[in-house]
């Protein structure tokens, strides 16, 4: 028995790097070769959702935090990136203001809080740091006050709604309902050129792989074990001398950073960021993929996010109303009946075939 356990453990050690390598080959090698431009840029968009799902897997799957407001962080990252790209577009066109400001603007001056986003470095840093800072501030109060599951989820939703509404109201400085659109260039590269679109895809795919490596390290680290312990019995963890609020905060902030990065990469891939992409409905959408694929499993969450995003763009054009219901149904079924998602289905079936010895074992 000992030998089978160790050989299985040895196999498991190669499974992760092997899977990673396979994923890298598929994403960076095969997909760009076989997919036409149009499909590849769709895949780029789905992979952005997958990056959000990696964070959801960490915070919700491992940490038990039902993060129903990831749209906020996705939006902050997206707007930070889009603001820089709009400013760069304007400069390239010889204008002082982005196009929409000339249209709706009440003054000729750039708002002060736009100014720092001229710097590419500042904007890039902000795409991740801004969401993380907001998550840290929110999490600090929420987790310390021991706000429980459902209230945390509602609070997250409220925040997503509030940000979307605020953006809509500030048409002159944020583009309002339209959002920031018509983005032409990406750090000097013309986004209308299909070659550059392919480059954007590669950047996104590489970012996803990187984020997955980071998340996996957190999963297998002592922090990852502690996070599961906090999820399962917060009170018990406290009696061991830890403050569970800090543990949850780390998971929440990292997940927010990933959502911010995803939002930032979404902008060059799709050419737009708008309130409709970050409010309540998309925020729920961000967790559905992870729920369906398996929120506690990194690969499950990623594949689930891509699959759901693909289904959405395929079905929502044909049956726009039906998709909303289907989405809700998927969520309920996944959370209620298959908490481990599709990723757990394989294990479930395997266990059914070969019952594990459930005897307690002798001391």
115 binds other proteins (CB under 8 A): no
Give the residue, chosen from 4, 5, 10, 336, that forms a contact with other proteins under the rule CB under 8 A: 5
193 binds other proteins (CB under 8 A): no
Contact predicate 135/76, CB 8 Å: no
Q: Using CB under 8 A, which of the segments 192-200, 214-222, 283-291, 304-312 binds other proteins?
A: 214-222
Q: Which residue has the tokens 């895809």?
A: 201
**Least gap, CB of 74 to other proteins (angstroms):** 25
Give the residue, chosen from 136, 229, 280, 335, that forms a contact with other proteins under the rule CB under 8 A: 229
Nearer to other proteins, 39 or 144 (CB): 144
> Binding pattern to other proteins, positions 230-249, x when CB under 8 A?
--xx-xxxxxxxxx------
From the list 111, 81, 82, the residue with the least C-alpha distance to 96 is: 111
360 binds other proteins (CB under 8 A): yes
Give the residue, chosen from 11, 22, 225, 351, that forms a contact with other proteins under the rule CB under 8 A: 225
Contact predicate 304/292, CB 8 Å: yes
Q: Which residue has the tokens 């969450």?
A: 301
Give the residue, chosen from 189, 223, 310, 323, that forms a contact with other proteins under the rule CB under 8 A: 223
347 binds other proteins (CB under 8 A): no
Q: Which residue has the tokens 């594990």?
A: 356
Nearer to other proteins, 320 or 360 (CB): 360
221 binds other proteins (CB under 8 A): yes
Q: Using CB under 8 A, which of the segments 131-139, 159-167, 204-212, 223-231 binds other proteins?
A: 223-231
Other C-beta atoms closer than 10 Å to the C-beta of 257 total: 24
324 binds other proteins (CB under 8 A): no
206 binds other proteins (CB under 8 A): no
User: What are the angstrom distances between the C-alpha of 257 and each of 120, 133, 166, 198?
Assistant: 18, 9, 21, 24
Q: Which residue has the tokens 């953006």?
A: 167
**Least gap, CB of 26 to other proteins (angstroms):** 26
**Which DSSP letter does residue 279 get?**
S
3 binds other proteins (CB under 8 A): no
Residue 185, beta-bridge partner list: 190
270 binds other proteins (CB under 8 A): no
User: Count of residues binding other proteins (CB under 8 A)?
Assistant: 27
6 binds other proteins (CB under 8 A): no
Nearer to other proteins, 30 or 348 (CB): 348
**Sign of the dihedral defined by the CA atoms of residues 262, 128, 274, 268, in that order:** negative
Both tokens of 41, joined, read: 């840029």
Secondary structure element (H or E) that encloses residue 185, with its range = strand 185-186
Give the residue, chosen from 228, 280, 326, 330, that forms a contact with other proteins under the rule CB under 8 A: 228
Both tokens of 63, joined, read: 């940490």
Contact predicate 55/265, CB 8 Å: no
Residue 190, beta-bridge partner list: 185
363 binds other proteins (CB under 8 A): yes
SS3 295: coil
191 binds other proteins (CB under 8 A): no
**Least gap, CB of 234 to other proteins (angstroms):** 10
Whole-number Å distance between alpha carbons of 199 and 189? 10
Whole-number Å distance between alpha carbons of 129 and 18? 32
12 binds other proteins (CB under 8 A): no
150 binds other proteins (CB under 8 A): no
User: Per-residue DSSP letters for 49-100?
Assistant: HHHHHHHHIIIIIIT----TTHHHHHHHHHHHHHHHHHHHHHHHTT-SS-HH
| Residue count (the chain) | 363
Residues in touch with other proteins (CB under 8 A): 5, 217-218, 220-223, 225-226, 228-229, 232-233, 235-243, 358, 360-363
């Amino acid at each position: 028995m000992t030998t089978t356990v160790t050989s299985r453990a040895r196999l498991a050690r190669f499974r992760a790097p092997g899977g990673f390598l396979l994923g890298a080959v598929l994403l960076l090698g095969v997909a760009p070769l076989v997919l036409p431009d149009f499909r590849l840029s769709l895949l780029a968009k789905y992979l952005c959702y997958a990056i959000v799902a990696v964070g959801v897997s960490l915070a919700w799957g491992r940490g038990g935090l039902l993060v129903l407001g990831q749209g906020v962080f996705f939006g902050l990252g997206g707007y930070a990136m889009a603001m820089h790209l709009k400013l760069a577009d304007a400069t390239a066109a010889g204008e002082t203001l982005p196009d929409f400001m000339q249209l709706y603007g009440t003054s000729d001056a750039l708002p002060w809080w736009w100014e720092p986003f001229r710097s590419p470095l500042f904007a890039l840093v902000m795409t991740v740091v801004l969401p993380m800072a907001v998550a840290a501030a929110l999490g600090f109060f929420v987790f310390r006050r021991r706000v429980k599951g459902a209230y945390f989820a509602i609070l997250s939703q409220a925040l997503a709604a509030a940000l979307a509404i605020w953006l809509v109201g500030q048409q002159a400085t944020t583009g309002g309902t339209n959002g920031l659109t018509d983005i032409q260039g990406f750090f000097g590269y013309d986004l209308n050129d299909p070659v550059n679109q392919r480059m954007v895809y590669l950047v996104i795919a590489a970012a996803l792989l990187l984020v997955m490596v980071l998340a996996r390290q957190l999963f297998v680290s002592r922090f990852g074990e502690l996070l599961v312990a906090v999820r399962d019995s917060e009170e018990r963890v406290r009696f061991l001398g830890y403050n569970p609020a800090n543990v949850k905060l780390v998971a929440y902030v990292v997940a927010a950073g990933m959502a911010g990065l995803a939002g930032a990469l979404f902008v060059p891939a799709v050419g737009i960021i708008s309130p409709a992409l970050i409010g309540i409905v998309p925020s729920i959408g961000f967790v559905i993929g992870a729920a369906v694929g398996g929120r506690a499993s990194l690969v499950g969450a990623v594949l689930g996010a891509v699959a759901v995003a693909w289904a959405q763009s395929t079905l929502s054009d044909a049956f726009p109303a039906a998709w909303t219901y289907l989405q809700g149904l998927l969520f309920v079924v996944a959370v209620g009946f298959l908490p481990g998602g599709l990723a757990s289905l394989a294990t479930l079936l395997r266990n059914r075939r070969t019952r594990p010895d459930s005897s307690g074992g002798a001391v």
